Amino acid sequence: MDSNLEQFASDNYSGICPEALDYMMKANEGSAPAYGNDEWTQKAADGFRELFEIDCEVFFVFNGTAANSLSLAALCQSYHSVICHENAHIETSECGAPEFTSNGSKLILAKGENGKLTAASIEEVLLNKRADIHYPKRKVISLTQATELATLYSIDELAAIKSLAEKHDLKIHVDGARFANAVVALNKSPAELTWKNGVDVLCFCGSKNGMALGEAIIFFDKKLAEDFAYRCKQAGQLASKMRFISAPWLGLLETGAWLKNARHANQCAEYFEQELLKIEGVEIMFPREANGVFVQLPENVITSLRAKNWLFYSFMGIGGVRLMCSWNTTIARIDEFIRDIKEAMGKTN
């Protein structure tokens, strides 16, 4: 059906990448124990332990909203709070899932340029909110890496937030919807980007990286994962045929496709940005660092592009146009889009 879809709407519009599919097919031979008691799941979990160079706890759930909500609920009681950026996906795009799953934990919104929290912006929020029993007790800092604006937290920025977290006895959660893109762009090891810089739990997204679905929740502090398997089961997040989530993960890890896919998406976005910058009147909104570009376009250009069936989002409350690249984005398609922008801009002038 939609196979010729013109889109830069989201990296989750893409299908299953060959490596993930290949392992899914392999996993489909014969029967296997349900609920994760199969060899694929064991191997995939071990794969993450090797990748992160630590004996971590690994859980597989269906999607990112679930991963974020369940891991935050593991860190928070109902009367605790999570400090996140006002543009954080957990705030803007998960329909209150963290509040629901934790039975009421509050998200406290902080500001910060380019979609990033800073130690200073977090501290400001802490100072401005009651710190007694009449307000939820602060418990967690949630970061998104790469951010919702396709920017990155550097190691130094992570280290500063880690210090603040230790000072205030806060845990650090990372929404890794595009964690692979961050690893590639920052050229740091997964360990450096997580537990070596204070991250307690990471939600590592598979679907945006090329899988059909599936998210890995990785607890670097194993104590925080106590009884977490019960939590997943109770929340309807324990797959009976788990192998169809875990085997594709193994495919991504064993073949290196997780890096290849992320690198391709990042490079496409870089190319996209360069082409956009060549067009007079187009303004890049944030420093592009991962697999998305945010541009300000004239309203009539946007209208014109939509009329040609190009799909893309504007970012709620920010405006502009978000152009996401994924593992299956092609340079040819970017060129077409650029050509259409230029044509529309021409009509503008």
Q: Shortest Cβ distance from residue 331 to a second copy (Å)?
A: 16
Partner residues linked to 214 by β-bridges: none
Element (H, E) at 127: helix 119-128
Q: Shortest Cβ distance from residue 302 to a second copy (Å)?
A: 18
Site for a second copy in 211-250 (CB under 8 A): 212-213, 227, 229-231, 233-241, 244
Site for a second copy in 149-188 (CB under 8 A): none
Please, which residue, 8 or 153, has the CB nearer to a second copy? 8
Site for a second copy in 313-342 (CB under 8 A): 316-317, 328
Q: Does 55 bind a second copy (CB under 8 A)?
A: no
Site for a second copy in 89-118 (CB under 8 A): 92-97, 99-101, 103-106
Q: Does 13 bind a second copy (CB under 8 A)?
A: yes
Q: Does 41 bind a second copy (CB under 8 A)?
A: no
Q: Does 261 bind a second copy (CB under 8 A)?
A: no
Per CB under 8 A, the segment of 51-59, 66-74, 164-172, 335-343 that binds a second copy is 66-74
DSSP 136: P
Closest CA to 145 of 198, 106, 214, 101: 198
Cα 21 to the center of its chain, rounded Å: 21
Neighbours of 36 (CB within 10 A): 22
- The count of chain residues that interact with a second copy, using the rule CB under 8 A, is 84
Indicate which single residue of 112, 119, 123, 129 sits in contact with a second copy (rule: CB under 8 A): 129
DSSP letters, 138-190, are: EEEEEEESS-TTS----HHHHHHHHHHHHHHT-EEEEEETTHHHHHHHHT--T
Q: Are 251 and 20 in contact (CB under 8 A)?
A: yes
Gap between the Cα atoms of 137 and 148, Å rounded: 26
Q: Shortest Cβ distance from residue 121 to a second copy (Å)?
A: 15
Q: Does 126 bind a second copy (CB under 8 A)?
A: no
